[in-house]
A = this chain, B = another copy of it.
Amino acid sequence: MAAEKPRNGLTYASAGVDINEKDSFTESLESTMRRTFGPRVIPNPGGFAGLFRLDYKKGLFSRNYKDPVLVACCDGVGTKVKLAAEMGVFNTVGIDLVAMNVNDLIVQGAEPLIFLDYIAVPRVDKKMLAALVEGVAEGCRQSGCALLGGETANMPDVYAPGDFDLAGFCVGVVELKRAINPTRVKPGDVVLGLASAGIHSNGYSLVRKVVKHAGLDLGKVYEELSEAEKAPRGQRGKGAKKRRGGGAARTLGEVLLTPTRIYAGNIVKLQRNYRVKNVISGMAHITGSGLADNLVRSIPKGCDAVIDRSSWPVPPVFTFLQEQGNIDDEEMKRVFNLGIGYCVIVRKAFAESIKEQLEKLGEAVYVIGEIVKGKGVVREK
């Protein structure tokens, strides 16, 4: 009945939360965020929320939406955070976080504008948090959006030492009449597949299970993985360049932590080139549940997409994991992107020129299938 009281007074710090430490860190993040700000961000130091001007009529460019539609999505990077924690490498998963969100957003025809991140940690580790936010800011620069805010949640008890979680949130805008929907896809359209940079950010619970069960060494260079360097050219960002540039063989851990490719910049550019002509009929971001189950979301009931799986090379990381984990073919297709990270469905007459444009922008592009009359499914040739 009579509850025993603690002899010394309790404090928030004794409960694992140091407000002062968190505040000073939050301030130090602001310069990282500011580097992602364009002229549309309204400075709001100490504010309760970030401010972003939708229309912008002066200066370098002019934008004015007639009937703006806000496009918003939310995603995390799954248990890729566990791999980052195990390796103690925190500057790449932030890029993944932005990628997972902006690649979803551009499917709707939108231009990404604003990004916000949620980082949950068991305690404030400034170096780790700075690296995480640096990655998020790099992803924002790659995709042309402003890192307008974020939350660092100090959660002793929920996260084990060394563990953490990431969630991201992106808002973009598209003119109402240009919002893309699946009903534009027609028989005869061509499906272009854009190469992925590797596993991206899905299926890492299985990846880590394979590593564990097959007794793989994250620090080891496996010869079977060396061809992974044939990843798409031109991914921007210092981190990515350094990793791919020298041709130095990468360890398994480095290959597995390769950041998700960000298609936003190139897809937004492509769409600007076709402001008037209606040649892009649909798009799909290939994430968890693989090519078929994501592409099908962009196809109307009266059409099928017929995919030729021999039309693109499966990156060695997938064959390596399949072999090491003795994973069934169908399971591989259901869990991983297997080399195609993004699909663009286009009118046949423009397929070649769009492929060339995307290649000039740095994408590796394959003609992977076509749209035929059907029942709204994705099937193999």
Interface residue ranges, A against B (CB under 8 Å): 3-12, 14-17, 19, 23, 42, 44, 46-55, 65, 67-76, 78-79, 81-82, 104-105, 107-108, 110, 113-114, 116-118, 120, 148-151, 153-160, 163, 165, 167, 169-173, 176, 179, 181, 203, 205-206, 208-210, 213-216, 284-285, 288-289, 297, 324-328, 331, 334-335
A171 to B297, CA, bound (A): 26
Q: Are B70 and A55 interface neighbours, CB within 8 A? A: no
Given the interface pairs A72-B149, A76-B151, the reply to whether A11 lies near B327 with Cβ below 8 Å is yes
A51 to B71, CA, bound (A): 5
Q: Are A49 and B78 interface neighbours, CB within 8 A? A: no
Pairs A–B under 8 Å by Cβ, sample size 6: A42-B69, A54-B173, A70-B171, A116-B169, A157-B205, A160-B160
List the number of copies, as a whole number.
Answer: 2
Q: Are A151 and B179 interface neighbours, CB within 8 A? A: no
Given contacts A72-B116, A72-B171, A169-B169, 5 further A-B contacts (CB under 8 A): A9-B326, A52-B70, A114-B171, A120-B165, A167-B167
Partner of A81, one of B3, B104, B158: B158
Q: Are A53 and B69 interface neighbours, CB within 8 A? A: yes
> In the assembled complex, how far is the CB of residue A237 from the closest CB belonging to chain B, in whole angstroms?
23
A184 to B159, CA, bound (A): 42
Given the interface pairs A75-B151, A208-B15, A326-B5, the reply to whether A104 lies near B49 with Cβ below 8 Å is yes
Residues of B within 8 A of A12 (CB): 203, 205-206, 331, 334-335
Residues of B within 8 A of A42 (CB): 69, 179
Residues of B within 8 A of A4 (CB): 213-215
A324 to B9, CA, bound (A): 9
Q: Are A120 and B79 interface neighbours, CB within 8 A? A: no
Residues of B within 8 A of A3 (CB): 214-216, 324
A157 to B114, CA, bound (A): 31
Residues of B within 8 A of A154 (CB): 78, 205
> In the assembled complex, how far is the CB of residue A194 from the closest CB belonging to chain B, in whole angstroms?
15
A209 to B15, CA, bound (A): 6
> In the assembled complex, how far is the CB of residue A267 from the closest CB belonging to chain B, in whole angstroms?
12
Q: Are B325 and A153 interface neighbours, CB within 8 A? A: no
> In the assembled complex, how far is the CB of residue A132 from the closest CB belonging to chain B, in whole angstroms?
14
Residues of B within 8 A of A160 (CB): 160
- Which residue of chain B has its CB nearest to the CB of A330? B11
Q: Which 5 A-B pairs have the closest CB atoms?
A: A169-B169, A49-B73, A118-B167, A48-B107, A15-B205
